[in-house]
């Protein structure tokens, strides 16, 4: 297995490509031959720099219509099956808050945490700090949004909530793993004068599907879920950087970052990896050098100090 010190740039790009295409860490080990701990360390380091780059670059945006939603997942075990000790380590239900520009499809902000009012406040504050103009916002009917949006944006906003109404599931629907059928929507204007034609959460909900398809950790009914909350956050940071800067949107024909004017070209995997400081791969020592080192002798040609 390849260790961290032996990981060159081409192999590092191969590992990242496997992760962003939805492979788990273990399948990436089998595909690339890189050690599991090495992949986890690379994901840790790259996730940190991706989050820092997003925080620095995705700012001062002109957004006309913003859609916000949350997607559920869990770390280690579902909350109902998690002990108090494990919850203190980050296990249990985890929600990813996502804000998407409906025009450019850019992910303006994301946040990994709980689903209560405190997390909603932090999420909306971050959105407000990245947008420079008056914006129309659409969210679902989650009550935590009401106060969070008002505190973050004040009165300078057009805000509406779209609450979906689901019918009672039939006997056949109860036997399968699927949500109930949506039979209507309840539109509620909260503040300002939002355009009813653009009160929608369709784009951000489609983005939620992309997340489930693009990250093994979000796949339902499998054992590919995250075992550590930090790894979960790092993978989401890597995913959103690739989504914004490296993945061409089918309808836009460019990346969301290019459409939003914060990037001039499609980023390659090598460019994403280049955010990390370059490290030289270690050279393997010969058996003779290791024997001489164990005996306290210097190999031939070594410099004497």
Q: What digits encode the pLDDT tens for the residues 120-170? A: 999 999 999 999 999 999 999 999 999 999 999 998 899 999 987 767 766
- pLDDT at residue 165 in the model: 73
Q: Are residues 218 and 238 in the same domain?
A: no
pLDDT, greater one: 221 or 271:
271
- Dihedral sign from CA coordinates of 185, 140, 205, 63: positive
Q: In this structure, are 86 and 199 located in the same domain? A: yes
The CA distance from 128 to 110, in Å, is 12
Indicate the residue among 164, 198, 226 that finishes a domain: 226
Structure tokens at 181: 């059928």
Are residues 67 and 179 part of one domain?
yes
Q: What percent of the chain has pLDDT over 90?
A: 75
Please name which of 76, 69, 118, 121 lies closest in space to residue 94, comparing C-alpha atoms.
76
**Do 73 and 215 belong together in one domain?**
yes
CB atoms within 10 A of CB 115: 15
Q: Are residues 177 and 245 in the same domain?
A: no
- Tokens, residue 280: 């030289």
Q: What residues does 71 pair with on adjacent strands?
A: 96
Instruction: Tell me: do 153 and 131 sit in the same domain.
Output: yes
CA distance 127 to 261: 18
Residue 293: domain span: 1-57+228-305
| Cα gap 238→234, rounded to integer Å | 6
- Out of 211, 226, 241, a domain closes at 226
Q: How many domains does the chain have?
A: 2
223-256 pLDDT tens trace: 889 999 999 999 999 999 999 999 999 999 999 9
Same domain, 170 and 294: no
Residue 269 main-chain phi, psi, to 5 deg: -65, -35
Same domain for 216 and 278? no
Whether 6 and 102 share a structural domain: no
Query: What is the predicted pLDDT for the residue at 185?
Result: 73
Q: CB count, 10 Å around CB of 180?
A: 14
Same domain, 34 and 152: no
> Which of 226, 247, 276 lies at the terminal end of a domain, its last residue?
226
Shared domain for 188 and 105, answered yes or no, is yes
């Amino acid at each position: 297995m390849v260790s961290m010190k032996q990981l060159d740039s081409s192999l590092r790009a191969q590992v990242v490509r496997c992760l962003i295409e939805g492979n788990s860490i273990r399948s990436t080990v089998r595909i690339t031959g890189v050690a599991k701990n090495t992949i986890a360390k690379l994901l840790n380091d790259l996730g940190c720099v991706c989050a820092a780059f997003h925080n620095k670059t995705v700012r001062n945006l002109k957004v006309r219509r913003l859609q916000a939603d949350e997607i559920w997942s869990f770390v280690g075990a579902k909350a109902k099956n998690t002990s108090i000790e494990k919850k203190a380590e980050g296990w249990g239900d985890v929600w990813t808050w996502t804000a998407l520009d409906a025009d450019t499809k850019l992910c303006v902000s994301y946040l990994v945490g709980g689903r209560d009012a405190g997390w909603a406040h932090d999420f909306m504050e971050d959105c407000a700090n990245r947008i420079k103009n008056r914006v129309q916002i659409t969210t679902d009917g989650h009550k935590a949004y009401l106060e969070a949006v008002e505190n973050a944006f004040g009165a300078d906003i057009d805000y509406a909530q779209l609450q979906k109404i689901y019918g009672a599931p039939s006997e056949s629907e109860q036997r399968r793993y699927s949500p109930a059928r949506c039979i209507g929507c309840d539109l509620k204007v909260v503040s300002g004068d939002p355009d009813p034609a653009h009160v929608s959460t369709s784009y951000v909900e489609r983005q939620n599907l992309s997340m489930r398809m693009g990250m093994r950790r979000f796949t339902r009914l499998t054992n590919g879920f995250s075992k550590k909350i930090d790894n979960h956050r790092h993978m989401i940071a890597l995913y959103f950087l690739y989504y914004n800067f490296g993945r061409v949107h089918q309808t836009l024909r460019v990346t969301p970052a290019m459409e939003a004017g914060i990037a001039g070209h499609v980023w390659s995997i090598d460019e994403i990896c280049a955010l990390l400081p370059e490290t030289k791969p270690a050279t393997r020592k010969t058996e003779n050098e290791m024997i001489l080192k164990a005996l306290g002798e210097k190999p031939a040609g070594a410099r004497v100090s």
